[in-house]
A and B are shown apart, each in its own frame.
Chain A
């Protein structure tokens, strides 16, 4: 999560800036993208992909977290290679800074840029492979329980490999010149976005639904749901690789008859309908189980992590004390004969108002007791102030923009005003 947060801090704002510059072009007469004044439309593409490529990781990293968290429960053992997987995630983020150009190989680049970004795009497969082999090893050395969540989570590995391999293929410059703007790319991006995100997320919903609602989702319907989605998805999207290699362009809604693409596209259509039916089965399972699912109990999957130690659904007052967590699998410490012992019933009470524990960044040692702020209208006022500011800018109304700036400043000031009860200002001196 920290990795994802850092990535969002550093990369999300490339497209924010692109939008600001475009706004300036339109409202204030600047010439960043304006071709007539030698502005550069390609600058937009650069800024967009500096954001756009890492954005894929923004979507994928939480899904990888779901898999690394939930898959071990169904393999009846902790994740193999936790530390390498965590480091691989960080490495993916870092190398991910230097690969945006592989979306633009065909726009006309110096050879040196092509070589550098192609190399980075190939190198980024190494951390992904580390995670992949760790998941496979977890299943291999565990005792897999073939439940619906397990099916979704393990099938993700297959889809991750297919989507990853087609990604590496487009990372190689000569092949990319052939593949750019063809259906091959459409196939790749759907394997990435649906295969690597939607499958683990649905697996995650099957896994945590009992914790959220206190009821199990139907296993029988769940299997129908999985197999319809999995087969439908692959029948629908795999053939796109083939028509892509045959030269079918993307972003064009139709094609001339007799190009040899008809049968493959028919298969794609059938597959996509099957996939849609699979999603429908999921939604049906969700609604039916919400009312009629079997009662789940606190820990239906015999999971190792803290959330499974409290009743389902989680009551508002979940832990009486802040648990002291010593390992990554506090509920399995006995059976794993782990030397570390977590304590769920003894810990910081923190009962003096709204308090929580701050910990050190890497070792999570208790560091400080934070006083949390109470309810406040300041954030709402800030949002409204910003709204007035930006609407004022769009309408080119200076008075409203100024009102917006002042309201924003005022809201931030009120929000951040130091408070004695939050321990932010000096105690009065006792005489």
Chain B
């Protein structure tokens, strides 16, 4: 670029809107974690293709808890989108805090329902390749949800302290990317583990 252009241009300093090193950082993390889930589901489908016992054990898993729970997680993402767009970007603290609180609440519901879903299973992590795959895939996802909830709680505390305004709210954007990723992964896991067995 020319020197005159250089003189004219004023650059923002520090984290500004979504411009921040953490924004790139979280996308790198998302890429890595997405790859892990791809390999996990590869393993699941590979074992399914080679299975000579019952797969899934007891037929396709029930949707009674899993389907509503999927909606709960989607609602949580929606609440966070609202918190970011109507709250963080406009510097409105009440919207930001209530959106974060709602996302957090719905996330906790998801974890509780998911634990009940686990309790209701007639097989365990030691029950052949299906039991191992089912619990390791959903367990990996649940671990990501719990990390996401810790993250939402932290964002809530920071927002409560008044750390963010319309310009400085990169942590909210960064955290939201991670949380939406965790939800998107659930849709893939749900499709693979709950819906695909119903096709055949």
A-B contact pairs, 10 of them (CB 8 A): A13-B32, A13-B39, A31-B126, A40-B46, A46-B46, A355-B13, A368-B16, A424-B20, A424-B168, A427-B165
The reply to whether A424 and B15 contact each other, CB–CB distance below 8 Å, is yes
- From 17 to 45 in chain B, residues with beta carbon under 8 angstroms from any chain A beta carbon are 19-22, 28, 31-32, 35-36, 39-40, 42-43
A335, CB-defined interface residue at 8 Å: no
B120, CB-defined interface residue at 8 Å: no
B115, CB-defined interface residue at 8 Å: no
Question: Once bound together, how far apart are the Cα atoms of A396 and B51, in whole Å?
Answer: 30
- Residues in B with CB closer than 8 Å to A399 are none
Question: Once bound together, how far apart are the Cα atoms of A346 and B3, in whole Å?
Answer: 8
In angstroms, how far is the closest chain B Cβ from the Cβ of A49? 12
B43 CB contact (under 8 Å) in A6, A32, A37, A427: A32
In angstroms, how far is the closest chain A Cβ from the Cβ of B20? 8
- Residues in B with CB closer than 8 Å to A47 are 39, 42-43
Question: Once bound together, how far apart are the Cα atoms of A275 and B21, in whole Å?
Answer: 46
- Residues in B with CB closer than 8 Å to A81 are none
Number of residues on chain B facing chain A (CB within 8 A): 49
A369 CB contact (under 8 Å) in B12, B39, B129: B12
- From 122 to 173 in chain B, residues with beta carbon under 8 angstroms from any chain A beta carbon are 125-126, 128-129, 131-133, 135-136, 150, 154, 158, 162-165, 167-168, 170-171
B50 CB contact (under 8 Å) in A24, A40, A357, A370: A40
The reply to whether A426 and B21 contact each other, CB–CB distance below 8 Å, is no
In angstroms, how far is the closest chain A Cβ from the Cβ of B170? 6
In angstroms, how far is the closest chain B Cβ from the Cβ of A32? 6
**Which of A14-22, A85-93, A117-125, A276-284 lines the interface with chain B?**
A14-22
- Residues in A with CB closer than 8 Å to B52 are 38
- Residues in A with CB closer than 8 Å to B32 are 9-10, 13
Residue on B with the closest CB to A361?
B24
B13 CB contact (under 8 Å) in A10, A14, A369, A416: A369
Beyond known contacts A43-B43, A365-B1: 13 more, CB 8 A cutoff: A9-B35, A13-B32, A13-B36, A17-B36, A31-B128, A40-B46, A40-B47, A47-B42, A324-B6, A346-B3, A369-B12, A369-B14, A424-B14
Question: Once bound together, how far apart are the Cα atoms of A348 and B3, in whole Å?
Answer: 10
The reply to whether B128 and A38 contact each other, CB–CB distance below 8 Å, is yes
Interface size class of A (residues with CB under 8 A): 35 or more
Question: Once bound together, how far apart are the Cα atoms of A423 and B13, in whole Å?
Answer: 7
A residues sitting closer than 8 Å to B (CB atoms) are 5-6, 9-11, 13-14, 16-17, 21, 24, 28-32, 37-40, 43, 46-47, 50, 324, 343, 346-348, 355, 357-358, 365-371, 409, 413, 416, 418, 422-427
- Residues in B with CB closer than 8 Å to A365 are 1
- Residues in A with CB closer than 8 Å to B164 are 425-426
B1 CB contact (under 8 Å) in A324, A416, A426: A324
In angstroms, how far is the closest chain B Cβ from the Cβ of A41? 11
The reply to whether B136 and A21 contact each other, CB–CB distance below 8 Å, is yes
Residue on B with the closest CB to A14?
B39
The reply to whether A358 and B35 contact each other, CB–CB distance below 8 Å, is no
- Residues in A with CB closer than 8 Å to B51 are 38
B9, CB-defined interface residue at 8 Å: yes
The reply to whether B162 and A43 contact each other, CB–CB distance below 8 Å, is no
The reply to whether A24 and B136 contact each other, CB–CB distance below 8 Å, is yes
Question: Once bound together, how far apart are the Cα atoms of A250 and B3, in whole Å?
Answer: 62
Contact flag A423-B16 (CB < 8 Å), given A17-B39, A17-B43: yes
The reply to whether B168 and A427 contact each other, CB–CB distance below 8 Å, is yes
Question: Once bound together, how far apart are the Cα atoms of A30 and B133, in whole Å?
Answer: 8
B11, CB-defined interface residue at 8 Å: yes
- Residues in B with CB closer than 8 Å to A427 are 165, 168
Contact flag A37-B129 (CB < 8 Å), given A346-B3, A418-B158: yes
Question: Once bound together, how far apart are the Cα atoms of A43 and B164, in whole Å?
Answer: 47
Contact flag A6-B31 (CB < 8 Å), given A24-B132, A43-B47: yes
- Residues in B with CB closer than 8 Å to A46 are 42, 46
- Residues in A with CB closer than 8 Å to B16 are 368, 423
The reply to whether B43 and A21 contact each other, CB–CB distance below 8 Å, is yes
In angstroms, how far is the closest chain A Cβ from the Cβ of B72? 24
Closest 4 pairs between A and B when the two form their complex, measured CB to CB: A423-B14, A30-B132, A426-B165, A425-B163
